[in-house]
Homo-oligomer: A and B are copies of this chain.
Amino acid sequence: MAEDEVVFVGNKPVMNYVLAVVTQFNSGAKDVRIMARGRAISRAVDVAEVSRSRFLPDVRVMGIYISTETLDTDRGATNVSAIEITLGK
C-alpha cells in the first residue's frame, strides 16, 4: 500500500527512522518517501543520507521537494516549511 512507503520524521533519534526506511525497502518497496516539517527537516536529510550511505548502497535520491504548509495553532495560523525526499532503486 502507498501509505506503507512513507516515513514521517519527527523528534526521535535518526536511527529509528533509518530502520523504518530500510525495513520498507527490505519488504519490497520500490521507493520510500521521507517527509518532515519544521526543525525535523534537518533530521530527514540525515535519515536519507545515513540510509543510503550505510545501509542501502543501491538506493539513490529520486527527487527532493520543498513546500510551505499552513498549520492552525492556538495562536492562529502559522506557516511551516516541509520537505519530501524520495529514495528509490
Contact = CB atoms under 8 A, between A and B. Distances in A.
Interface of A: 38-42, 45-46, 48-49, 53, 61, 64-68, 79, 81, 83, 85
Given A64-B66, A66-B64, A85-B66, A45 B41 contact: yes
Given A38-B42, A39-B39, A39-B42, 6 more contacts: A41-B45, A42-B81, A45-B83, A46-B81, A48-B66, A61-B66
Q: In the A-B complex, list the 6 residue pairs whose CB atoms are closest, starting with the nearest.
A: A64-B64, A41-B42, A45-B81, A49-B68, A42-B42, A49-B81
> Which of A38, A48, A81, A83 is most buried by chain B, counting CB atoms within 10 A of its CB?
A81
A78 to B, nearest CB: 12
